Amino acid sequence: MNLDVNTLFLVTVYVEVILGLLLLFAWAQNTAVTAVAWWGFADLVRAGSIMLFGQFGAVSDLISIDLANALLFTAFALTWTGARVFDHRSPKPVLMFAGAALWLVICRVPWVADAFDLRVLLSSGIITAYTWATAYEFWRGRNEALVSRWPAIFLLFAHGALYLLRTPLGAMLPGLPTTNEVFDSVWLTVLSFEALLFTIAIAFILLAMAKERTEQRHKTAALVDPLTGIANRRAFLQDGETELKRQVANPRPIAVMLLDLDNFKSINDRFGHAVGDRVLKIFAEVTSGCLRHIDLFGRLGGEEFAAVLRDTSHERALAVAEQIRVGFAEATRDVDGAPVVATVSIGIVISHDAVLDLPALLAQADHALYRAKDCGRNRVEIASLELILDRASRGAAELMTVIGGGKSAAGKRTAKSAA
C-alpha cells in the first residue's frame, strides 16, 4: 500500500472513529469525567470532516472544502472545550463555533474564495488558535500535579506551531500546491501523516490524564477526612512519623497538640447534627488558618484533632494554641443562626529530640488534655513531668479505690454468709 494522501485519509478516518469510540467507552465507565466525552466527540467530528475532504473532486468545493474545514475547526474547538471542562471551567458555546462561522462567512467573499494561499493561512490560523488555547487551558491547571499534563501541553503546542508554519515551510518543499491540485502536494502528505500520529498520541495522553486524576483522587480520598477536608487519622500518623524521623538528622523542637472539642455531644443534642458538622468544619478552618503550611493537622476521629508544629518553641506553641482557642469560640458565636459558642481544650507536649515516637508524644499530650478538661475545659495545658506523674498517681489511686471497694464488698458478703 503506497503512502499517499488517499491512503492516509482512509486510515485517519478509521483511527479517528476508533479513538472517538474508545474515549466515549472510557467516559461511560466513569461518567464523572465529562471531559473525556468532549474529546471522544471531537474525534468523531474530525473523522466526519476528513471523510468530506476525501470527497474532493467528487462533490462541490462547498462540501469537500468549506464544510469539511468548518467541521475540522469544530472538532478542535470541542477538544479545547474538553480541556476547559477537565479543569472545571465552563464551556463557551460562542467561541466554540466562532472558528467555523468565521470560515464559512469569509469564504463567501469572492476575493478570498479565489485566494488559495490566503484560505490555507486562515484555516491554519484557526486550527492553531484552538490548539494553543487547549494547551493554555492545561497550562492554567498546572498546579494540579498531573505528570501527563506536560506531554499534552508540548504536543498541542508543537502541533499548533506546525499548522501555523505550514504556508512558509511549504514554500521550501517540493510539490507546494499553487492551484487546487492539492492531492499532488508532498506537504499535504506530510501534514496528513503528522495529524494521524498526533491524533493517536494526544488521545492516549488525554486518557492517561483522566486516569491519573481518578487514581490521584482515590488516593486522596483514602487520606483526607471527607467532612473537614483535612488529613484523616491514617494520613496524619503517617506524615507525623515521617516528620519525626527528620528530627534524627536535624534535631529541632517540635510541638504536638491534641485538641478536643468540649461537650460536643450536647451541641449535637441541642442544635442537631447538621450544626454539629458545621462546628467541626469551622474548627478545621480556624485551626488551619492559625497554622503554617509546614505544620501538620489532622482529625483523629469524632471531635478529636491533632497537630504537629515544626521548629516551635514552648512560647510559640502556647501562643498558637491560645489563638486557636479564642478564634474558635469567636467563630462559633453564631453558627447558621444558632448561638453555639463552642470551645476546645488543648494539650501540648514539646519534644526537643527524636527519642519518642508520635504515639508516645500523643500520649503525653493526652495527659495535658486531661488536665485541661479536669480544670474546667476551654483552656490550654502543656505536658510536664509533674503533670504526667500527677495523672499516673491519680490513676493508681482510683485503681486502688476500685480494688479496695471490691474487697470490702467481698468481706461483707462473707460476713453475711457466716451469720
390 within some domain? no
Whether residues 253 and 213 fall in one domain: no
C-alpha cell at 221: 480520598
Whether residues 188 and 81 fall in one domain: yes
228 within some domain? no
404 within some domain? no
Backbone angles phi, psi at 252, to 5 degrees: -140, 155
Segments forming the whole domain that contains residue 257: 233-383
Contacts of 212 (CB under 8 A, 6+ apart): 146, 147, 148
pLDDT at residue number 60: 86
Contacts of 244 (CB under 8 A, 6+ apart): 254, 351, 354, 357, 358, 361
User: How many domains does the chain divide into?
Assistant: 2
Contact 152, 213 (CB under 8 A): no
Using DSSP, state whether 147 is helix, strand or coil: coil
Question: In Å, how far are 18, 374, 377 from 380, measured between CA atoms?
Answer: 64, 11, 8
Strands (E), 342-419: 344-351, 380-382
Whether residues 298 and 362 fall in one domain: yes
* Separation of alpha carbons 139 and 150, rounded Å: 8
CA 28 to chain centre: 21
The percent helix, strand, coil of the chain (3-state, each to 5) is 70, 10, 25
C-alpha cell at 361: 508524644
DSSP 270-319: HH-HHHHHHHHHHHHHHHHHHS-TTSEEEEEETTEEEEEETT--HHHHHH
* Separation of alpha carbons 20 and 30, rounded Å: 16
Instruction: Give the domain-ending residue among 167, 193, 221.
Output: 221
Whether residues 57 and 185 fall in one domain: yes
Contact 373, 345 (CB under 8 A): yes
> pTM for the whole thing?
0.66
Whether residues 14 and 159 fall in one domain: yes
* Separation of alpha carbons 377 and 343, rounded Å: 8
* Separation of alpha carbons 68 and 375, rounded Å: 80
* Separation of alpha carbons 66 and 112, rounded Å: 12
417 within some domain? no
CATH number of domain containing 294:
3.30.70.270
Helix (H) or strand (E) holding 260: strand 254-261
Most distant CA atoms of the chain, gap in Å: 126
C-alpha cell at 399: 485503681
Instruction: Give the domain-ending residue among 200, 221, 242.
Output: 221
287-306 burial: b if 16+ Cβ within 10 Å, else e: bbebbeeebbbbbbeebebb
Whether residues 300 and 259 fall in one domain: yes
DSSP state of 346: E
Strand 254-261: give its sheet, edge to edge: 296-301, 304-309, 254-261, 344-351, 380-382
pLDDT at residue number 179: 41
DSSP state of 177: -
261 within some domain? yes
Contact 186, 173 (CB under 8 A): yes
Instruction: Give the domain-ending residue among 221, 242, 258.
Output: 221
What is the mean pLDDT of each successive set of 10 residues along the chain, which is 419 residues long? 65 92 93 93 94 84 88 96 95 95 88 79 91 96 90 94 69 46 54 82 93 85 89 92 81 91 94 94 96 94 94 92 96 91 94 79 92 93 66 50 49 42
Radius of gyration of the chain (CA): 34
Backbone angles phi, psi at 308, to 5 degrees: -125, 120
